[in-house]
Amino acid sequence: MESIDRQSYPMEVTPAKSLRSSLPWRAGIASMDQALLSAMNFLIAILLIKSVPKADYGYYSVALPISLFLISLQNAIVNTPLTVLLASKKGGDRRDYVASLCYGQFLVVLPAAGTGLAVLTFFRFPGLDPAVKAIAVALCVSSAGLLYREFLRSYLFAEEDPLAVLKMDAFYVAIFLCLLSGLYLFSGIRVATVFLLTGVSAFLAALPFGRARGWRFPPPSISKSYGENWLFGKWALGGVCVSHAQNYSYLYLLGIFSGSVAVADVSAARLLLMPMMLFQRGWGKIAIPHGARPREEGQAHRFFKEQILSSLLFLVAVAVYVALLLTFSEPLQRHLLTGKYASSFGYVMLWGLVFAAGFFALNASYGLQVMMAFNIITKVSFVVMLVTVGSAWFLIRAHGVAGGLVALLLGESLLAMGLWIAFGRAVFLSKSKAPATLEEKEKLLELSGNPP
């Protein structure tokens, strides 16, 4: 029988498959996913605003960035290198690499959470508000579930399967809302129980999707897989710490100088722009794996243009959204924020500017991650962080909440300028040949850190 050259006769691509593999389709599904999560987080915040004292909502507003920081650490060491390196893995090596990353992270997470619980249990911490201690306990208990789900989300996005992410997150939201409804009806809600329920719901939702992958346990190559990740993760880790200090220093300093009530006011204003914030995160899940393909094909300049276009479109979206918020400020204040948060609408315009500048910075950061230039992000972010923290220290003491937001806007604007310059140099002044090995990728990273 005559053999058939399969490379000469590729499998037929149906219109449905072509649609599912297109960037607009994947971006649309990712946006739906982020809209779902945005609605859930918005509901949580509104329930807390209406149900708990203003000071407790301030505690929630500080604890939430801490939980996001844990996820950011995971992104730096595990998830972001995964999205960059997965395209170069094939067959069994690909499966073993992902399994090692998934299970290996719990060798750190579970002992750390156990240590935290032991410290909180055996030490009384006199003077600490019981609500704060309860929140800390809830964060320790929920950390494993939160990180497990976040890993699976990153993996599925890296596989360019946002529909699976949407299904998992829909399951997560359904579980959480069922648990929260029962709690709200029978005993009311507290900040600590909200964090606890998110962790439990995340684990239950992620479990069937993780088990379906058939990853071997124990994984065969934890040290090898994390060694590959560390080549890029060491720079991303520093960048995460610096970025967290830059993005949330104003919040911590505001709590120190003005108290948790002031934190609640500025956080309520930020809540109104939560859809913009979650879209930023969702776009990164699409942009990084999408950009890895043109990078491997030596077409990074095309990805650079796409990032410019998406940044401009986001700027227009923020302007329209802020205009709508200000137009309907009175009914929104009456039905959402209540009279306790009457001053929060005065910060919406500043928040809109911060989000617009922040998206420009994030898009350049995503581009540099695709180019594997993590060290540049760390170096630029470190300088900008010093400016942001220093200006926040003085401006908050002089002007309160508005001063903190001005400091944040200054930092985001400087960061955007620095990262876009670096992104352009990494794209247009580096070799067009796609790196084939880890050694070549390391050389590219070093060249990107010291452009000619």
Tens of pLDDT along the chain (452 residues)?
333 343 333 444 444 444 455 667 777 788 788 889 888 988 999 899 988 888 899 999 999 999 999 999 999 999 988 988 887 888 778 888 888 898 889 999 999 999 999 999 888 777 788 888 999 999 999 999 999 999 999 999 888 788 999 999 999 999 999 999 988 888 888 999 999 999 999 999 999 988 867 776 676 778 888 888 888 788 778 778 888 888 898 899 998 888 888 899 899 889 888 778 767 776 777 788 778 777 776 777 888 888 899 889 999 999 999 999 888 888 888 777 777 887 888 899 999 999 999 999 999 998 888 887 877 887 888 999 999 999 999 999 999 889 999 999 999 999 999 999 999 888 887 654 444 455 545 444 443 333 33
Position 334 scores a pLDDT of 78
Position 223 scores a pLDDT of 84
Q: How many Cβ atoms are within 10 Å of 133's Cβ, its own excluded?
A: 16
Closest CA relative to residue 74, chosen from 11, 19, 147: 147
Q: How many Cβ atoms are within 10 Å of 323's Cβ, its own excluded?
A: 12
Q: 444 and 392 in contact (C-beta within 8 Å)?
A: no
Structure pTM? 0.75
Position 5 scores a pLDDT of 40
Position 419 scores a pLDDT of 94
Position 157 scores a pLDDT of 87
Distance of CA 442 to the CA centre of its chain: 25
Position 21 scores a pLDDT of 54
Nearest 5 degrees, angle CA 240-CA 246-CA 251? Answer: 115
What are the tokens at 436?
Answer: 């084939």
- The Cβ-side half-sphere exposure at 238, using a 13 Å CA radius, reads 16
Position 446 scores a pLDDT of 43
Is the C-alpha dihedral spanning 367, 368, 372, 377 positive or negative?
Answer: negative
Q: Which amino acid is at 363?
A: N
DSSP state of 52: S
* Contacts made by residues 417-420, CB under 8 angstroms, sequence distance 24+: 418/380, 418/383, 418/384, 419/361, 419/364, 419/365, 419/368, 419/376, 419/377, 419/380, 420/360, 420/364
Q: 263 and 404 in contact (C-beta within 8 Å)?
A: no
Distance of CA 292 to the CA centre of its chain: 19
